[in-house]
Amino acid sequence: MQHHIPLEVRDREVTRLDLFMGFAKIGLLGFGGVAPWARYVIVEERQWLTEREFAEVLGVGQVLPGPNTMNAAVMIGDRFHGIPGVLLCVLGQMLMPLVIVVTLAMIYAEFASIPQVNAALIGAAAGAAGLVLGTGIKMVQKLKPTGMALVFGGLAFVASGILELPIVWVVGVLAPLSIAAAAFERRHR
């Protein structure tokens, strides 16, 4: 099976160990958002892909089901080592977060009854919600969405955040409607 390997990296071998260790690093450092770390490791540090190739891989990963960086791990693993590369990249990206979460769960089970632990978790949840909100605001500022995009974003917020409708139904209804609206808007410009 012939894999597309860009000209920039054809001259050097990307080993299976390189793939595993690179994606293990991405998984370990990816708290609060994996994509910036994935870009740093893949493009800048390891130089496995060019900036453009990474954007293309991440873009394809964005439209596929599942986390975009996990989808990118699958595509990059396949590009360099086929199925074994896929397995190594996915395992590498999942291993450290899994170890950390299981360890934290065991610690939490031991200390969950302490009121200060519950207070700390409530504070951490508020901080995480603030990070998500801040990231969303930054994205809106940089993307400069159309009025139609803001309408559908508002509808999604009201439906899931205020009315507490199941997210599957919200996405199932609003995604096709927003795609149709965007196509209609584009056609009538």
Alpha-carbon dihedral sign for residues 59, 85, 25, 41? negative
Q: Tell me: the pLDDT tens digits for 90-132?
A: 999 999 999 998 998 999 888 888 899 889 888 988 888 887 7
Residue 157 per-residue DSSP state: I
SS3 content of the chain, % helix, strand, coil (to 5): 80, 0, 20
Calculate the alpha carbon distances from 188 to 104, 151, 174 in Å. 53, 18, 21
- Summarised one tens digit per residue, pLDDT across range 143-184 is 677 888 889 889 998 999 899 999 889 988 998 998 898 888
2-8 average pLDDT score: 49
Taking the C-alpha atoms of residue 21 and residue 84, their distance in angstroms, rounded to an integer, is 14
**What's residue 10's pLDDT?**
47
Predicted confidence at residue 4, as pLDDT, reads 52
Phi, psi of 144 (to 5 degrees): 50, 70
More confident residue, 141 or 85: 85
17-72: pLDDT as tens digits:
999 999 999 999 887 678 888 888 999 999 999 988 998 898 888 878 888 889 99
Q: Looking at residue 1, what is its pLDDT?
A: 45
Contact partners, residue 58, CB within 8 Å, separation at least 6 = 35, 38, 39, 68, 69, 72
With a threshold of 0.85, does the pTM exceed it? no
31, two tokens: 């708290």
Q: In the predicted model, what is the mean pLDDT of residues 69-78? A: 94
Amino acid of residue 88: L
Residue extents of the structural domains in the chain: 1-116, 137-189
